[in-house]
Structure 1
Amino acid sequence: MRKPGCLGERKRRESLIGRERARRSAMQSSGTSLRSKMSGSKDIRRVLVVAVEIILVYLAPLATAESQRLPAEFLLCKASDADYNGCLKQAAQKAFVLLQNGVESLGIESINPLFINHVDVEQGSGLVRVALSLSNATLTGLDNIEVLSQSTDIASGGCEMKSEAQVPRFSVASDYEVSGKVMLLPITGRGKSNVTMNDINVKVSLKCERFMRDGEEFLNVTNFHIKFQPKSATMYLANLFGGDALLERAMNILLNENALEILREMNPAIEVKFGAIFRDISNKLFHKVPYKTIFLK
């Protein structure tokens, strides 16, 4: 038979052991929580660091951009010139010549040929209802552009420019993917393509706004609207209908017999896409060269 004192001592030891286990468990739980919080803090810091780096990558070009001047070869016109618009026409013609090989100092690449990585065009009404994707596109023909007229209205806080030109021949060679209907007939395919337009009348109107940077005033093109009207055109799409030679030949005949009508149907969508491309090219110049050094008083 156990003595009462022994039983009391045993219960006391068990109580002490229980409390010690509870203390250790609490410490482990607290340590885990602390490590979790520390790990969470580290994750937050990592996210913040990455976010700051991304912001700096995008803002650095704006913050460090230095104003430049047009190369001496560019023709400049004064608003006070008796034939200001005539001078602008000559200046625009000269600019197209100089842009053929690009302007390295302004970060402008050659416009002939002009390369476009990718463009999507969707036409959902009329006789042409297609989803068309062009990639690795090469545009040629801007080397022979003839400027017919040029006018510029420098309004307070912005500007508006209009020009008209004639292009003898303009081609777009690219990889393509198309699906939809043309002249009520289904069309589908993926492969090489070429569209060539001849004797094209081109009308351009653009609007811009002014902004300040480092104490100097620059222009930003907000809208670039281009409208083109060719007198004739040819089209060729390879590998239509999965390479079915008979269907491919028949569709290409249909496309060429109705090329101008098809282009008229698709022009609004195409003009929006190409307007955005040429707006970006224009802004490469206007964002770097101060307004007052382009449009002289």
Structure 2
Amino acid sequence: VVYICGFLSYLEANPVKLPKGFIQCKQSDPQFDQCVTKAVNEGVPELVKGVPRFGLPPIDPLRISTLSIDQGHGPVAIKMDFNDLDILNIGTADIKDVKVDMGKKSIDMKIDLSAPAILEGHYKVSGKVLVLPIQGDGRSKFTLSGFKAEAKCDFKEITKDGETYWSLDNIDFNFSVTKLHIVMENLFNGDKALGDNMNVFLNENWPEILGELR
């Protein structure tokens, strides 16, 4: 979402400077929002490969070096650290209903993935999930099917070297999935029976677990 918002902010502030091949949208166009929606969707295949001119690296897969979840209380109370986490299938994004408010400097959008979002990487976890303790250190894979999201990006206007830009100030992001499938290797110091049972438990209770972690 940060990536898409960054590109859109460039598009709004610099509509005449887009590279060849990108749809040009005029703010005076009564169908401006529809034009921006089409421009972003047609640009997704190029965006995921990276656009050096915008300082945007390739993002499918997107590598996140470290990510931490520290849920200290409630039914799901865990500390979970990820290393070298890859997010796959970002390139299947379908951007819908882009709405640009030039006065408020905000952009709203909906995002659907036509393929499951897959997160793969090394994890380390300790804590409690619902009624069961959990502990592990190994490879993991999280598959989120039916991924749909709504995002609102707020910007502030900045001027640099005589040029005006929108700088991302805040993002509100909400998502839903139809299913979450979890595979965590080497749970409980490699105890296969305990690990298999925990994976079954996690997948049977994924709605409650995901709800607690949001």
Same topology, TM > 0.5: yes
What aligned pairs does 1:69-218 form with structure 2 within 5 A after superposition? 69-155=17-103, 159-168=105-114, 169-218=116-165
Which whole-Å CA distance do the structure 2 matches of 1:225 and 1:95 have between them? 23
Q: Deviations over 1:84-130 (max 9, x none)?
A: 11111112212322212111222211111111111111223332111
Of structures 1 and 2, the larger Rg is shown by 1
Query: Are residues 80 and 124 of structure 1, via their aligned partners in 2, closer, same or farther at CA, if it must alter by over 3 Å?
Result: same
What's the secondary structure of 1:225's corresponding residue? strand
Query: Aligned letter for 1:161?
Result: I
Is contact 1:92-1:150 (8 Å) kept? no
Deviations 1:9-41 (A, max 9, x none): xxxxxxxxxxxxxxxxxxxxxxxxxxxxxxxxx
SS in 2 for 1:82: coil
What is the CA RMSD across the aligned residues, in angstroms? 1.7
Structure 1 or 2: more helix by fraction: 1
Q: Helix, strand or coil: the match of 1:125?
A: coil
Deviates more, 1:241-250 or 1:104-113: 104-113
TM-score, L = length of structure 1: 0.64
Report % sequence identity.
Answer: 28
Once the two structures are TM-superposed, the CA of residue 83 in structure 1 deviates from its matched residue by 1.2
User: In the comparison of the two structures, how many residue pairs are matched?
Assistant: 199
CA pair 143-201 structure 1, distance change in 2 beyond 3 A? same
Q: In the alignment, residue 244 of structure 1 is paired with which amino acid? A: D
Q: Which runs of 4+ in 1 moved over 4 A?
A: none
Over residues 53-105 of structure 1, what are the superposed CA-to-partner deviations in whole Å (9 max), with x where a residue is unaligned? xxxxxxxxxxxxxx994322222311211211111111221232221211122
What 5-or-longer segments of structure 1 have no aligned partner? Answer: 1-66, 268-297
CA contact (8 A) 1:123 1:131 kept: yes
Q: TM-score, length-normalised on structure 2?
A: 0.88
Tell me the distance in 2 between the aligned counterparts of 1:70 and 1:134: 36
**Which aligned pairs between 1:10-29 and structure 2 lie closer than 5 A?**
none
Q: Secondary structure at the match of 1:79?
A: coil
Give the SS at the match of 1:223.
strand
Unpaired stretches in structure 2, ≥5 consecutive residues: 1-13
